[in-house]
Structure 1
Amino acid sequence: MAQVPYEVYVHVPFCLRRCGYCDFNTYTAVDLGGGVSRSSYADMAMREMDLVKEWQLSHDLHEPPAHTIFFGGGTPTILPAHDLVRLVAHIRDLWGIEEGAEVTTEANPDTVDAAYLAELQDGGFNRISFGMQSAVPHVLKTLDRTHNQENVVSNVDAARRLGLRSSVDLIYGTPGESVEDWRTSVEAALELDVDHISAYALALEPTTKMGRMIASGRLPEPDDDDEATKYEIADELFSQAGLEWYEVSNWCRPGNESEHNLGYWRNVDWAGIGPGAHSHYNGLALRSWDIHHPKMWGTSITQKRVPWADSETLDSTMCIEEMAILGLRMREGLDIAAFEKAAGMSIPDVTLAEFEREKLATIKNGRIIATRRGRLLNDAMIAQVVAAVGA
């Protein structure tokens, strides 16, 4: 049996400013106490890597060289480029890195420049994911973003000159964003001539600044129909420009998929490093997650303990549900035979017929492949498949 690919995710929990919509595990303080600060973070993360490797070996997990590395946040590029490069080098020393492995960092467009990107490229990075979000000033202001579109253009150009692949992230459904505002942002992203674009519906949590403003009536509530219209516009314009969807929220020119994200959707092994980061190990049917607060995370590392808040063993029902979720979100679709084998039950023909009749999916080569309508109603499709096999 071929070995499951292995990925490493590094979470950097620092931001210059916390965006009003964000509920990620991020902090704006320079020093969070307990030995965890921006200046010491790389060293602490490398110490966690050492502990994780020891834990893996103690559980007879011998992971292959990293297939991908991804730095997320927060804002990884708030750290000096040298620190990100040192972390990549430590991963190479501990686990090895595959020849041609994808090495990505997220980047806020106003925290990098050509010199910073060149240092990353020299240190082994080959892909940058820029948080563009919007090209419209009033939308960026509502999102509390500090960059402008000129930052995005100049840095994508600099990355291209260095031979770095670029992706941009967009958000649709921001309060006050018109359909034309969204069209402007999509067209601006396409003008960058990047090979990968992600577009996510604004997800609001009541505990965020924006969530509180909507609850108090100071901002209008996002509208599902508006978001569906904007998704359709994005899918249409991306398709016309030669970018194909390969996951519900991701489009690329063929061959430019995010290998790291594909690994998540294909349930490979990965180690999550940093406060709140998740890990996944197939051989142990295990999912774990790090302590969220950086100070407590750092204390655990200092005490030479893997800084997990908790973990869970994935039972058969959870695995079946994940199989449906991951398969139906991807263009390659849900493998019916593999799913039925795992579930020990067949998906009723009437369910498959309904998907086709309602234009939610096509059944092709033994796979359920979501249509555009099916992507918009993806959660309902997943629930129907899971219910159909009694999981």
Structure 2
Amino acid sequence: MAEPLALYVHWPFCVSKCPYCDFNSHVRESVDQAAWREALLADLRHEAAQLPGRAVSSIFFGGGTPSLMPPATVAAVITEADALWGLAEDCEITLEANPNSVEVANFAALASAGVNRVSIGVQSFDAEALGFLGRAHSDDEARRAIAAAQAHFARVSFDLIYARPGQPVGAWEAELAEALAFGTGHLSLYQLTIEPGTRFATLAAKGALTIPDGDAAADLFDATQALTRAAGLPRYEVSNHARPGEESRHNLTYWRYGDYAGIGPGAHGRRLTQATERHKKPENFLSAVVRNGQGLKVEADLPPQERATEAMLMGLRLTEGVDLSRVEARSGLAREDFVDAGAVARLAVQGLMVQERDRLAVTDAGILLLDSILSEVVKTH
């Protein structure tokens, strides 16, 4: 029996561009909704033809701002995916949403369309921080949106950004305590990073923006782990926390290096031994679908070493770690071809990694050093 698939659907449109965002998002005065619905369905049909005989275990509508999608379009994609592949009985269907009142008004219709989990881009409960982050909602709108989501969806997650310039540990602990008090089963807690090509990168280059240094960021991270653990939402990935059983099944497919189809502008996919990528610019994507019946820009065979490297880089982000026998099966390589056993042994002695038979994981003590650990452990050629 083939493993089930994850399906990612990208909706590229936003009301405005946030200064920290490096995602494929675009502001447009008007959107031809009928044309977009047909384009997404055509792109979906193409992927289904490449991956026959699979069930879909999760669908994730990301963006951009997918809560701006007409609920009828969301319903059409879900219905088509079910017709083409069949949805697993407990299929997790997530949609990203902003806390703006216009989008929250769609929650009932989105739930009727089949969405059973929302991920809300709150980012902060502090009004000043929301202004700094370029968010279009208020702190009160954020609180109301979470409450509305909890009334309509079985599962709710929301994002917060911390390690902001000058943020004291005590202020972050108070903000996180408020977040945990909502009682959602999942939280995504990201340290602010300066991504190339964003407005924040321009400000940082001028010296007008400074984020906490390594020690201050580590203190904030440690406080985050203590509070979430105490609340029963331990970290299961570098930035993601969940009540046991409430982990994002969709994202776990990525981290465990399963197959996923990606449709819509700029969407990436991994199917069997291939990497796929769609045209990023909305207009280019639409014209490609009209021309070819799909929006593909890249469809490339991934060499075994690259597959093994990707699987290791993704899997070691997880608290559970990586299953080396699975990486061997997915890449066709022996583990000595992609794991430096000497480095693992050295890091294990230092308490930074642990290995039990096929399972290799980074410890809590090692997670803040993840990038350097990966560079030592993962053989890339």
Asked if TM exceeds 0.5, the reply is yes
The equivalent position to 1:356 in structure 2, one of 331, 345, 348, is 348
Q: Secondary structure at the match of 1:319?
A: helix
1:202 aligns with 2:192: yes
After TM superposition, list the pairs within 5 Å mapping 1:286-325 onto structure 2: 286-325=274-313
Calculate the TM-score normalised by the size of structure 1. Answer: 0.89
Q: CA deviation at 1:185?
A: 2.5
Residue deviations 1:133-186 (CA, integer Å, cap 9, x gap): 111121111110112332232222223233421001122233343333322331
> Runs of 4 or more off by more than 6 Å in structure 1?
none
* Number of the residue aligned with 1:278: 268
Going from structure 1 to structure 2, the CA distance change for 1:307 and 1:365 (only over 3 Å counts) comes to same
Residue deviations 1:170-218 (CA, integer Å, cap 9, x gap): 2223334333332233112101110001112223223211111111122
* Number of the residue aligned with 2:364: 372
1:102 aligns with 2:92: yes
* Number of the residue aligned with 1:12: 11
Q: CA deviation at 1:112?
A: 5.1
Distance, in Å, in 1 between the alignment partners of 2:358 and 2:284 is: 48
* Number of the residue aligned with 1:383: 375
Structure 1: runs of 5+ lacking an equivalent: none
Residue deviations 1:68-95 (CA, integer Å, cap 9, x gap): 0000001101223232222222222222
How many residues align? The count is 377
Residue deviations 1:26-77 (CA, integer Å, cap 9, x gap): 011133xxxx6456422321222233334x1xxxx31422110000001101
More displaced 10-residue stretch of structure 1: 149-158 or 109-118: 109-118
More displaced 10-residue stretch of structure 1: 222-231 or 247-256: 222-231
Distance, in Å, in 1 between the alignment partners of 2:62 and 2:311 is: 25
After TM superposition, list the pairs within 5 Å mapping 1:82-97 onto structure 2: 82-97=72-87
Q: CA deviation at 1:239?
A: 0.4
Going from structure 1 to structure 2, the CA distance change for 1:73 and 1:339 (only over 3 Å counts) comes to closer
Going from structure 1 to structure 2, the CA distance change for 1:216 and 1:123 (only over 3 Å counts) comes to same
Q: CA deviation at 1:378?
A: 1.0
**Sequence identity (%):** 34
Going from structure 1 to structure 2, the CA distance change for 1:10 and 1:322 (only over 3 Å counts) comes to same
Q: Secondary structure at the match of 1:268?
A: coil
After TM superposition, list the pairs within 5 Å mapping 1:79-228 onto structure 2: 79-111=69-101, 115-228=105-218
1:3 aligns with 2:2: yes
Distance, in Å, in 1 between the alignment partners of 2:175 and 2:346 is: 36
Calculate the TM-score normalised by the size of structure 2. Answer: 0.91
Structure 2: runs of 5+ lacking an equivalent: none
Distance, in Å, in 2 between the alignment partners of 1:178 and 1:280 is: 40
Q: CA deviation at 1:295?
A: 0.5
More displaced 10-residue stretch of structure 1: 294-303 or 333-342: 333-342
Q: Secondary structure at the match of 1:377?
A: helix
1:50 aligns with 2:38: no
Going from structure 1 to structure 2, the CA distance change for 1:97 and 1:240 (only over 3 Å counts) comes to same
Q: Secondary structure at the match of 2:266?
A: coil
RMSD: 2.2
Q: Secondary structure at the match of 2:378?
A: helix
Distance, in Å, in 2 between the alignment partners of 1:292 and 1:49 is: 16
* Number of the residue aligned with 2:56: 66
Q: CA deviation at 1:349?
A: 5.6
* Number of the residue aligned with 1:330: 318
Going from structure 1 to structure 2, the CA distance change for 1:112 and 1:221 (only over 3 Å counts) comes to same
Distance, in Å, in 2 between the alignment partners of 1:348 and 1:7 is: 31
